Homo-oligomer: A and B are copies of this chain.
C-alpha cells in the first residue's frame, strides 16, 4: 500500500540496506549514492515505517507523558517544560490524558508499553496507580513520577514541598488573625493531598489550635469539587473564617460557591490555595497562592528520565522544589513577595 523502503531501493537502484544507512545517517555511504537515495525519498514522499523500525531496532525515540488532566494549567506548563527538553535531546514526547480515571491510566500505560516508548513521565492518579506502575517497571521501562509520589513505589520523583508549602499558607492565615480555618482537601490516596493536610495540621498544632475534623472536607481537586465542598462548609453551624484549598482549580470552585451564596471574598471568607493560575493572575491578581515552578517540574523530571534511559542513574532520586508564597487579595492582606528557593536534590 504505502511506499516502503523496497520501493525506494528499487527506484534508486540500490539495496534496502543502503537506503537504511542513508536514513540512519550512517557515514558508510558514498555521497553520490546518498544524494540519489535522498532524491528518491523526496520524490516518493517516503516516510519510514516506525513500527517496523522500532520492532527491528528496539528503539523508537518516543517518550510518553501521562497526566490526569490536560486542562489543569499546572500540568500543561509542566508538559511544555518536559516536551522542550525532550525535543532538544532528539526525543518526541507524546501526551496521554487519563481524566483521573484508573482504567484509562492503565490502558494508556499498557499502550505506551506496547508502543515501546523508551521512557515514561507520569503524574499518577493516586496510590492505586501502583499496580500499573509495577507493570511498567517489570517491563524495565524507565519511569519518573512528577508531582505525586505513590506509596510503596520508590522511584525517581520530582515533587513540590507540599508539607512546608501548606504549612506556610496556613501560618499566613493565622498571622492575619484567622483561627477557624477550614481545609478543602483532595482524596487521601493522593500524596499531595496527604502532605498538604499534614502541613495544615502542623501549622494549627504549632499555633495551639485544636484540629476539628468537620472543617476538613475531602473532595475532588477540580472546580466542581471545590464548589460542592464550599457549599458544605458554608452550611456549618459556625462558618469558618478562612479556607485553605488543596489546589488552584478547587479554589476556583470556592470563589464560585462563595459568590453564589451572596458572600464576599475575603471579607466573609478568606482564601488561600496551592498552585497559581498564570493567566487569571495577570488579569486580576486576586488569589493568594503557593506558586510552584511548574515548568521546572517538567524539565527536571525529563532530565532524570534521560539519565535513566542512558543508564547513568542508579538509586532512585527525589527532587523537591520549593514553592513561593504570593500574597494577593483573597487572604485579606496586602502584597508581599518571598524569594524562590533553589531546588534540593537528595
Contact = CB atoms under 8 A, between A and B. Distances in A.
Contact of A284 (B52, B55, B284): B284
A83 interface: yes
Contact of A104 (B87, B140, B255): B87
Given A47-B114, A87-B104, A255-B282, A70 B76 contact: yes
A226 B1 CA distance: 47
B286 A284 contact: yes
Contacts of A284: 280, 283-284, 286
Pick the most buried of A2, A107, A108, A223: most chain B CB atoms within 10 A of its CB. Answer: A2
Interface string A48-85: 11111111001010101000001101001101100110
- Categorize the interface residue count of chain A: 35 or more
A51 B95 contact: no
Contacts of A93: 96-97
A256 interface: yes
A94 B92 contact: no
Contacts of A282: 223, 252, 255-256
Given A2-B139, A115-B115, A252-B282, A80 B70 contact: yes
6 A-B pairs with the lowest CB-CB distances in the bound complex, closest first: A50-B114, A280-B280, A95-B95, A284-B284, A94-B94, A51-B55
